């Protein structure tokens, strides 16, 4: 497996588990897993966010993209609604829980 695939898998797993961590905090008021495990995942995600944020800043500065006509919040809400309507028994699907 390539380094890119390994990185993407690591980020996917960290993001998936972060969703469960956030649910623990929002619903229970505390983490179910050791804070050091959660902190490691946060580091994986922070690195990914920083890398993508750097690309966003660079591409905005280059001016290659046309002005955005869509509403990012509305697009995100449509994607969230599609996801909320999804159900399967896949062990990786949040809707299987």
Phi then psi for 63, rounded to 5 degrees? Answer: 70, 20
Condensed to tens digits (0 to 9), the pLDDT of residues 24-69 reads: 999 999 999 999 999 999 999 999 999 999 999 999 999 999 999 9
In a domain, 92, yes or no: no
Tally of domains within the chain: 1
Question: Is residue 82, in this structure, part of any structural domain at all?
Answer: no
Percentage above 90 pLDDT, the chain: 82
Its domain, for residue 17, covers 3-69
Backbone torsion region of residue 40, taken as left when φ is above 0, otherwise alpha when ψ lies between -120 and 50, otherwise beta? alpha
Q: How far, in Å, CA of 22 to CA of 79, rounded?
A: 20
Contacts of 45 (CB under 8 A, 6+ apart): 11, 14, 15, 18
More confident residue, 95 or 74: 74
DSSP one-letter string for 26-39: IIISS-SS-HHHHH
């Amino acid at each position: 497996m390539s380094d890119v695939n390994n990185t993407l898998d690591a980020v996917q797993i960290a993001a998936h588990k972060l969703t469960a961590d956030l649910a623990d905090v929002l619903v229970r008021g505390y983490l179910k897993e050791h804070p050091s495990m959660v902190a490691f995942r946060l580091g994986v995600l922070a690195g990914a966010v920083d890398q993508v944020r750097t690309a966003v800043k660079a591409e905005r500065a280059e001016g290659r993209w046309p002005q955005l006509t869509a509403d990012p919040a509305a697009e995100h809400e449509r994607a969230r609604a599609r996801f909320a309507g999804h159900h399967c028994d896949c062990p990786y699907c949040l809707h299987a829980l």
